[in-house]
Amino acid sequence: MLSLPDITALLGECTFTAVRSGGKGGQNVNKVSTKVILTFDVLNSEVLDEEQRALLLEKLMARISKEGLLQLNSSTERTQLGNRQEVEEKFSRLVNKAFHIPIRRIATKPTRGSKEKRLKDKKAVSGKKSARGGSIPEAFIDE
């Protein structure tokens, strides 16, 4: 069974870069670097073992560059600190989702009661539809 790596240790290996961005902030966005870019080097991570690294590379293939870098950014908040927290949460959710193993559903047979209910409901709908097809008025019959 594959264990979930320590998220705080992974965040310690990440580099954060602040750059200028558009979005909320008015004229403030033109002079303050509030957008935060998180970069995580999956291939050279010391926290991940080989099995975890392979799983992360497989699950996040579309988000990881050829150099093995995972980059996430956030520019939704007005402050650099807010965007840093946002990108850390995004990273945490992404890693947790990658390591999540869904529980397989065990197929079961329908119960006797559910079969009887389905047939009873089917018969009721059938009766309702057959009752709609009443006789044709004599005025419409061509002789």
Q: Which of 56, 65, 57, 11 is nearest to 38 (CA)?
A: 11
For residue 124, the model assigns a pLDDT of 94
Rg value, the chain, Cα: 30
Q: Give me the pLDDT at residue 143, please.
A: 56
Structure tokens at 22: 């558009």
pLDDT band of residue 63 (cuts 50, 70, 90) is very high
**What is this structure's pTM?**
0.69
Q: Does domain 7-99 have CATH number 3.30.160.20?
A: yes
Q: Which residue has the higher pLDDT, 22 or 103?
A: 103
pLDDT recorded at residue 114:
96
Model confidence at 68: pLDDT above 80: yes
CB 42 within 8 A of CB 56: yes
